[in-house]
Amino acid sequence: MSADIHDIADHRPHLTVAAVDGVHVLPWDLVRSVIAGDKPSAILTEPVLRRIIEEWLQQVTA
């Protein structure tokens, strides 16, 4: 198994998502683009989407 490793220094701020398949670091602009509909949600993996929804649900029901 291999993974692409990228320097995210130019993509700050970023969001760190601890999903079941590992830790993902996503540029904030990418997440905002998905929210705005500029990029498809399919650009994010299923485990990442599940974790984001899980954390959001915890926030709104707390």
Q: What is the pLDDT of residues 2-36, one digit of tens each?
A: 667 777 677 689 889 999 999 998 999 999 999 99
Question: For the chain, what is the domain count?
Answer: 1
Task: Give residue 38's domain range.
Answer: 9-61
**pLDDT, average across residues 35-61:** 95
Is 1 inside any structural domain? no
Is 50 inside any structural domain? yes
Are the CB atoms for 31 and 15 separated by under 8 Å? yes
The confidence score (pLDDT) of residue 39 equals 97
Is 49 inside any structural domain? yes
Three-state secondary structure readout of the chain: CCCCCCCCHHHCCEEEEEECCEEEEEEHHHHHHHHHCCCCHHHCCHHHHHHHHHHHHHHHHC
Is 45 inside any structural domain? yes
Is 4 inside any structural domain? no
pTM, whole model, 2 decimals? 0.76
Is 26 inside any structural domain? yes
